[in-house]
Structure 1
Amino acid sequence: MLGNNPTSLVYPDPIDIETKTQSSVAHFIKKMKKNKGAVVGAMILLFFIITSAFAPFIAPYPVNEMKFEDSLQGPSMAHWLGTDEFGRDIWTRMLYGGRVSLLMGLFAVTLSGTIGVILGVLAGYYRKLDIYIMQFIDILMTFPSLLMAIAIVAVLGVGLTNAMIAVAISVVPSFVRVVRGSVLSIRETEYVEASKAIGVKDWKIICKHILPNVASPIIILATLEFGSSILSAAALSFLGLGAQPPNPEWGALVFVGKSFLSQAWWMTLFPGLAIMLVVLGFNLLGDGLRDALDPRSK
């Protein structure tokens, strides 16, 4: 019996909470280290992020410097990955192209994640809105994501910014469905029902109980969609709908290189390899996060 004395109430010990938090973080790090695929994926991504971020300091040549006397030279000590039809260094352009490709993926995932989480929470928490939001999402999902992105660019116009917006919109349905499914199960839990019963406002319930519990699937999905967004953005640039010359985006580099495939295979191979490795890195890391953040595996 606690009696009527308020001081007799037992509150959680802050030290215990801190210990449990540290234990959870340590468990997460331990599981990530054990997952060799996640470690490899993280190392791949770390390499491309560092080289892209420090491209101005790493690149041996100016990104758009043309030397026609060096055009279509193969890989050598002077030009590690060869040169293009204008004598520009491929390694330099790939470093700067990584910045464009990674930023396109980051923008697309951030925008689509924000919109998707908002719509998913509204659809899962408010039954009256659910049918309207999901009907709209179902319509969007009838189109393949790349086809939808192409249609959006056709409406908005060709360009880097419009390509990022198009890719972001095409990814929104994935976030909405994942978040909605999680919210539907969480809103039926006892602590949410108890919060409603004592008059807690909806926005407080969403911020305090709903969002923290859907964070894990959002993080996992965002990691996986990051790679998909980069691939979609590269596809748009390859089709001439995304980054425009002289922007050295990876998809655009592959597009230019295909015209010289028989003469200069390196113009296509190395940018394509970079796209493949980055997408692989995000997929491996996403799989590792899914295993580490899965409550059933603890």
Structure 2
Amino acid sequence: MLKSIEKNNLSFVDPDPIDTQSKTNLFSNNFFNKIKKNKGAIIGSVILLFFIITSALAPIIAPYPVNEMNFDDSLQGPSLEHWLGTDEFGRDIWTRMLHGGRVSLLMGLFAVTISGTIGVVLGVIAGYYRKLDIYIMQFIDILMTFPSLLMAIAIVAVLGVGLTNAMIAVAISAVPSFVRVVRGAVLSIRETEYIEAARALGVKNWKIIGRHILPNVISPIIILATLEFGGSILSAASLSFLGLGAQPPNPEWGALVYVGKSFLSQAWWMTLFPGLAIMLVVLGFNLLGDGLRDALDPKSK
């Protein structure tokens, strides 16, 4: 009988404006209409689709083998044969950029997935269980005293140089951002009337978190994950540029810029095009993230 009363009462209390808004914003026509009207989000989406599709199809559309050397064609500028020129070993830059995009995008995806998962769990625990809040946030505050790139460098120094360790370092350095955003959202939601009603009816905490709290923090998580995706790619490229991430001959964008800097005066294309790719992808994620923020804002008209 208690479960029946609980279910009936929750169905009456559930349609809170905040709770309903979160669920409708993500799937309503209004959400997609706002995205369509946002030029920045459209431009960012087009940029990202271009790099995602070309990177995914790299083994098919790449004109040359990724590590094929031809010293007769070394350091050639952009031409019809080599669209973006060649490097010091005669390898095609366009081919290496296509394959490098696969590495860079996967590094960003891995970093955001790991940091987002850990950050959401810690943020929900800190925001809902107040006794644990002070301990978790003190640890997060300590992490946030270090710039994210500096923290990533320190982690790589401990774990060792390499692509996998660079991804782990970037993921750990992004955790504090997720924790603080999720915790703030949970703190505001846990004091609402429908959460108090659920507690009064004896609903278990994990059910409250899964049914009422997590659906309400999806919007800020999606926005932050989109923005952090670009930041993670930039941080991973920075580590590779410093020689701490992907190692030659691995064609990651940051590693390509690192190699090209030694030939900047005689082969500018080796640095320009990989650097331009990093810039455009980060710009695309930032534009898309801003568009999602405007579309998911319940106060926007």
Give me the TM-score of the superposition, normalised by structure 1: 0.93
Letter in 2 for 1:42: S
* Number of the residue aligned with 1:102: 105
* Number of the residue aligned with 1:81: 84
CA distance in structure 2 between the partners assigned to 1:162 and 1:178 by the alignment: 26
1:265 aligns with 2:240: no
Residues 187 and 280 of structure 1: is their aligned pair in 2 closer, same or farther, counting only changes over 3 Å? same
The alignment-based identity, stated in percent, is 86
CA distance in structure 2 between the partners assigned to 1:68 and 1:35 by the alignment: 48
Residues 295 and 138 of structure 1: is their aligned pair in 2 closer, same or farther, counting only changes over 3 Å? same
* Number of the residue aligned with 2:39: 36
1:230 aligns with 2:233: yes
CA distance in structure 2 between the partners assigned to 1:23 and 1:241 by the alignment: 39
CA distance in structure 2 between the partners assigned to 1:120 and 1:31 by the alignment: 29
1:276 aligns with 2:271: no
Residues 24 and 230 of structure 1: is their aligned pair in 2 closer, same or farther, counting only changes over 3 Å? closer
Letter in 1 for 2:171: A
Show CA shifts across 1:35-71 (max 9, x none): 0000000000000000000001110000000000100
Contact kept in structure 1, 2:77 and 2:85, CA below 8 Å: yes
Give the Å deviation of 1:25.
1.9
Contact kept in structure 1, 2:227 and 2:286, CA below 8 Å: yes
Q: 3-state DSSP class of the match of 1:153?
A: helix
Give the Å deviation of 1:21.
5.2
1:293 aligned residue (282, 296, 300): 296
CA distance in structure 2 between the partners assigned to 1:206 and 1:87 by the alignment: 56
* Number of the residue aligned with 1:131: 134
Q: 3-state DSSP class of the match of 2:89?
A: coil
Q: 3-state DSSP class of the match of 2:256?
A: helix
* Number of the residue aligned with 1:165: 168
1:187 aligns with 2:190: yes
Letter in 2 for 1:242: G
Q: 3-state DSSP class of the match of 1:66?
A: coil
* Number of the residue aligned with 1:245: 248
Give the Å deviation of 1:23.
10
RMSD (Å) for aligned C-alpha atoms: 1.6
Higher RCO (CA 8 Å, separation ≥ 6 residues): 2
Give the Å deviation of 1:130.
0.1
Residues 198 and 166 of structure 1: is their aligned pair in 2 closer, same or farther, counting only changes over 3 Å? same
Show CA shifts across 1:191-237 (max 9, x none): 10010111100000000000000000000000000000000000000
Give me the TM-score of the superposition, normalised by structure 2: 0.92
* Number of the residue aligned with 1:215: 218
* Number of the residue aligned with 1:197: 200
**Between Structure 1 and Structure 2, how many residues are aligned?**
283
1:256 aligned residue (259, 264, 278): 259
CA distance in structure 2 between the partners assigned to 1:220 and 1:22 by the alignment: 13
Letter in 2 for 1:45: L
CA distance in structure 2 between the partners assigned to 1:21 and 1:144 by the alignment: 37
Structure 2 segments unaligned to the other structure (5+ residues): 1-8, 13-19
CA distance in structure 2 between the partners assigned to 1:130 and 1:147 by the alignment: 26
Show CA shifts across 1:93-132 (max 9, x none): 0000000000000000000000000000000000100000
Structure 1 segments unaligned to the other structure (5+ residues): 1-8
* Number of the residue aligned with 2:51: 48
